[in-house]
């Protein structure tokens, strides 16, 4: 076809493809940014939950055999987190506890006291299903009544606080993303509708020379698909660059990295670019196809 | 009554625009190969009548048959098929301004199911030769004069060998010489068996090339062939 058109396309009144791609890209980018935020916040709460632990202090002067049997008894409890089938329960000897104490406080009590006043303990990691104030209290109680157990402690205030905050932040984030999603869809729809508005008389002329609706629609839908795809692609590239930058600037963020989920968000983003573009242009062209001449003016 | 040679048949039809009846109880027929003028004052309803014939205005009261399509019953999806049987020449051209003359014609052929490139090329060359514009295929519509654009529209109308040409003031904006050119093309097309219904204000042309006349007047259509009025030369 192009060999018959050595002249450049008329600029005025032609389909503003660049504007459309730009708008869709921006919209998808913002949505993607929000999705990344949600993803990382979610992972953060998981990391926090995984790090909640019970400290089980043992009575003094217990035989190592008893310590081992106690460890395996606690290990069988349902609230203990398991990794690769292994219960996450660790023994901390008096000496290790002393070392840790000295490292944390900077006070070397061994110079004052002849005896190590600290107790042997277990650090028990908790299954995240038990990450609730009451359930944790029950779990602690179950351990506490065992023989040889002196005391069970856990950061009770931290638990309820984190729980409340996660719920609140999650609700706010999801609420915002729903509003954002709606705004984005409307924005893209409007952009495409406006872009196609410039084509309404062209569409009418096509109808008048006997072209069927489907035939008229096809190129518009194809354009929208291509534009949606490229918008999605550009948005994804921008997001990837931003994410990479964030990881390089904030090393701790690396712990929250979930490549697979990020990649699927990228895929969904590109796909929704295509889908929203396609649906919007279908809607707009159908509308102009149904309009009478008087309504077009 | 409705023989295979009747292209347009209008019976007891009321033509409406926005619920207002502008032509009441009109009756006429156009046979294959006929040449027919449609005259009347501006705003008398000529264009509305033509638009009704190619199903661009909703039509419910009465009976109209065009190229075997019943306009009063036609469904939206059948309208393109009707328009392929009739060549329409618009006063405002209705060319696709975003593409070249060649691509304008190509669009129509593709839209009407042509797929073989060699046949398409031959057909486009044919119609352009017929209107005498074979050198302008690569131009954009806005680079052409009014007369040239109108001839492109005629070429486009001829692509699918229509049974009838409906022309709405095809010489409306053109100077007398170009008008004559267009008329000559029309007559040539008409000679090959295509009926023509042409709305016009140009009485010189009617004087020069007399033929059957339908006159739209005070909500009626008068037919010179039935002796309902006689046309006075001006």
- Looking at this predicted complex, what is its ipTM? 0.84
Reported as a single tens digit per residue, the pLDDT across B152-177 is: 999 999 998 899 999 998 888 788 88
Tell me how far apart the alpha carbons of residues B141 and B149 are, in angstroms, rounded to a whole number.
7
Task: Kindly state whether residue B203 falls inside one of the protein's structural domains.
Answer: yes
pLDDT of residue A244: 92
Query: What backbone phi and psi angles, to 5 degrees, belong to B15?
Result: -95, 125
Question: Does residue B78 belong to the interface with chain A, where contact is any CB pair within 8 Å?
Answer: no
Query: B140 lies in which domain range?
Result: 33-55+75-226
Can you give the CATH number for the domain in which B100 is found?
A: 3.40.50.300
Domains and CATH numbers, chain A: 18-46+165-296 (no CATH), 53-154 (3.30.70.3040)
pLDDT of residue A255: 81
Reported as a single tens digit per residue, the pLDDT across A169-214 is: 888 888 888 898 898 889 888 888 888 888 888 888 898 888 999 9
Residue B62 near residue B232, CB atoms below 8 Å: no
Reference A193, options A293, A273, A272, A283; nearest CA is: A283
Task: Kindly state whether residue B65 falls inside one of the protein's structural domains.
Answer: no
pLDDT of residue A12: 47
Give the number of residues written for chain B: 234
Task: Kindly state whether residue B64 falls inside one of the protein's structural domains.
Answer: no
Task: Kindly state whether residue B162 falls inside one of the protein's structural domains.
Answer: yes
Tell me how far apart the alpha carbons of residues A10 and A198 are, in angstroms, rounded to a whole number.
13
Record the tokens describing residue B172, joined without a space: 């409306």
To the nearest whole angstrom, how far is the Cα of A2 from the nearest Cα of chain B? Answer: 9
Per the structure, how many domains does chain B have? 1
Question: A-side interface with B, Cβ within 8 Å?
Answer: 1, 4-7, 9-10, 13-14, 202, 204-213, 215-216, 293-294
Chain B neighbors of A296, CB-CB under 8 A: none
Contact state of A211 with B81 under an 8 Å Cβ cutoff: no
User: Three-state SS for B186?
Assistant: helix
Task: Kindly state whether residue B6 falls inside one of the protein's structural domains.
Answer: no
pLDDT of residue A2: 42
Q: Which long-range contacts (CB under 8 A, 24 or more apart) does A135-139 make?
A: A135/A79, A136/A52, A136/A54, A139/A54, A139/A77, A139/A79
Mean pLDDT, chain B, whole residue set? 89
Give mean pLDDT in consecutive 10-residue pieces for chain A, a chain of 297 residues: 46 69 90 88 80 82 82 83 81 82 78 77 82 81 83 77 79 86 87 86 88 91 91 95 92 85 93 92 90 68
Return the number of CB contacts < 8 Å for A and B. Answer: 76
Task: Kindly state whether residue B26 falls inside one of the protein's structural domains.
Answer: no
Task: Kindly state whether residue B63 falls inside one of the protein's structural domains.
Answer: no
Contact state of A210 with B142 under an 8 Å Cβ cutoff: no
Question: Which of B84, B95, B103 has its CB closest to that of A1?
Answer: B103
Tell me how far apart the alpha carbons of residues A234 and A111 are, in angstroms, rounded to a whole number.
65
Task: Kindly state whether residue B145 falls inside one of the protein's structural domains.
Answer: yes
- Consecutive H or E run containing B148: helix B146-158
Record the tokens describing residue B232, joined without a space: 């006075």
- Consecutive H or E run containing B30: strand B20-31
Give mean pLDDT in consecutive 10-residue pieces for chain B, a chain of 234 residues: 75 87 92 93 88 90 92 90 91 88 93 91 93 90 90 92 91 84 90 92 88 91 84 73
């Amino acid at each position: 076809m192009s060999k018959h058109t050595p002249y450049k396309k008329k600029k005025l009144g032609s389909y503003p493809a660049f504007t459309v791609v730009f708008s869709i890209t921006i919209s998808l980018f913002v949505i993607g940014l929000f999705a990344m935020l949600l993803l990382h916040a979610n992972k953060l709460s998981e990391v926090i939950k995984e790090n909640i632990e019970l400290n089980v202090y043992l009575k003094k002067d217990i035989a190592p055999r008893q310590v081992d049997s106690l460890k395996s008894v606690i290990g069988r409890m349902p609230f203990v987190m398991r990794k690769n089938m292994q219960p996450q329960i660790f023994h901390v000897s008096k000496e290790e506890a002393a070392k840790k104490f000295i490292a944390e406080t900077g006070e070397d009590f061994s110079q004052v006291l002849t005896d190590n006043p600290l107790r042997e303990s277990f650090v028990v990691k908790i299954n995240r299903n038990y990450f609730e104030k009451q359930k944790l209290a029950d779990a602690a109680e179950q351990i506490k009544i065992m023989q040889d157990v002196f005391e069970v402690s856990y950061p009770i205030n931290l638990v309820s606080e984190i729980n409340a905050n996660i719920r609140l932040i999650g609700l706010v984030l999801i609420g915002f993303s729903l509003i954002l999603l709606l705004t984005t869809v409307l924005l893209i729809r409007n952009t495409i509708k406006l872009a196609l508005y410039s084509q309404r008389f062209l569409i009418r002329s096509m109808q008048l020379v006997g072209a069927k609706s489907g035939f008229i629609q096809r190129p518009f839908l194809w354009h929208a698909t291509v534009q949606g795809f490229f918008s999605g692609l550009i948005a994804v590239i921008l997001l990837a660059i931003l994410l990479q930058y964030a990881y390089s600037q904030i090393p701790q963020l690396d712990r929250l990295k979930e490549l697979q989920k990020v990649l699927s968000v990228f895929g969904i983003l590109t796909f929704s670019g295509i889908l929203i573009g396609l649906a919007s242009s279908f809607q707009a062209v159908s509308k102009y196809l149904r309009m009478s001449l008087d309504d077009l003016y | 009554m409705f023989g295979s040679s009747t292209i347009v048949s209008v019976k007891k039809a009321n033509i409406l625009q926005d619920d207002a009846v502008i032509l009441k109880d009109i009756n006429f027929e156009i046979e294959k190969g006929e040449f027919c003028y449609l005259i009347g004052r501006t705003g008398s309803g000529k264009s509305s009548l033509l638009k009704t014939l190619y199903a661009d205005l909703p039509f419910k009261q009465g009976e109209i048959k065009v190229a075997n399509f019943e306009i009063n019953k036609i469904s939206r999806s059948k309208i393109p098929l009707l328009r392929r049987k009739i060549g329409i020449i618009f006063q405002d051209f209705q060319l696709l301004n975003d593409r070249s003359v060649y691509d304008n014609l190509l669009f129509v052929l593709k839209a009407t199911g042509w797929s073989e490139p060699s046949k398409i090329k031959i057909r486009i060359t044919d119609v352009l030769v017929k209107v005498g514009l074979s050198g302008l295929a690569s131009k954009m519509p806005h680079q052409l004069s009014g007369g040239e654009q109108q001839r492109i529209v005629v070429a486009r109308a001829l692509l699918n060998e229509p049974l009838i040409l409906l022309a709405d003031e095809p010489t409306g904006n053109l100077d007398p010489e170009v008008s004559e050119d267009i008329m000559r093309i029309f007559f040539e097309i008409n000679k090959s068996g295509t009926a023509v219904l042409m709305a016009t204000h140009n009485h010189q042309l009617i004087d020069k090339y007399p033929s059957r006349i339908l006159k739209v007047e005070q909500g009626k259509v008068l037919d010179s062939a039935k002796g309902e009025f006689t046309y006075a030369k001006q």
